[in-house]
């Protein structure tokens, strides 16, 4: 499984339906918040999140078949994953220096992955280099 380093922590690269997602526990970990902080914030503001756009609530079968092992406990009956928009909305109130750093790293290095250059693109880049 691929991992991405955010705030000196190795996060698994988790995808759901072709998009990178984060769990509430992953948010607590990289933002160095007490366990349950992200879940409490999500539950407090749930009416502002759109299911399928900002987050997805997954059942046990989907967790076991569509996500990398270890994303949730193998006994979890359900789990919430956030897409990029949901992550940004959830962490909007996080306003300390660490939050700004982690948000930038997650957006640039985790959610917005860059496909490797093809051989032709590499050659083209070399040809235009001064």
Contacts of 91 (CB under 8 A, 6+ apart): 27, 31, 99, 102, 103
Band of the pLDDT at 122, cuts 50, 70, 90? low
Q: Say how many domains are in the chain.
A: 1
Q: Over the stretch 15-31, which tens digit does the pLDDT of each residue have?
A: 999 899 999 999 999 99
Phi-psi region of 5 (alpha: psi -120 to 50; beta: other; left: phi over 0): beta
Contact 68, 1 (CB under 8 A): yes
pTM of the model: 0.78
Q: Over the stretch 30-47, which tens digit does the pLDDT of each residue have?
A: 999 999 999 999 999 999
CA distance 39 to 26: 11
Domain residues for the domain of 51 are 3-128
Contact 40, 90 (CB under 8 A): no
pLDDT, greater one: 123 or 111: 111
Q: What is the pLDDT of residue 80?
A: 98
pLDDT value at 116 more than 70: no
Using alpha carbons, select from 116, 120, 128, 103 the residue that is nearest to residue 2: 116
Band of the pLDDT at 103, cuts 50, 70, 90? confident
The pLDDT mean for the chain works out to 86
Q: What is the pLDDT of residue 109?
A: 77
Sign of CA dihedral 80, 84, 86, 88: positive
Total residue length of the chain: 130
Mean predicted confidence (pLDDT) in 69-77: 90
Using alpha carbons, select from 46, 7, 8 the residue that is nearest to residue 24: 46
């Amino acid at each position: 499984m691929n991992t991405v380093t955010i705030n000196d922590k190795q996060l698994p690269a988790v995808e759901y339906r072709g998009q990178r997602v984060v769990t509430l526990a992953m948010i607590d970990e990289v933002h160095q918040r007490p366990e349950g902080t992200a879940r409490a914030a999500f539950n407090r503001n749930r009416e502002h999140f759109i299911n399928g756009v900002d987050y997805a609530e997954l059942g046990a079968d989907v967790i076991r078949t569509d996500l990398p092992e270890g994303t949730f406990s193998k006994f979890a009956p359900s789990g919430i994953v956030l897409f990029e928009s949901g992550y940004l909305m959830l962490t909007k109130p996080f306003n300390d220096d660490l939050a700004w750093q982690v948000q930038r790293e997650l957006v640039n290095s985790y959610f917005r992955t860059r496909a490797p250059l093809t051989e032709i693109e590499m050659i083209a880049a070399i040809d235009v280099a001064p």
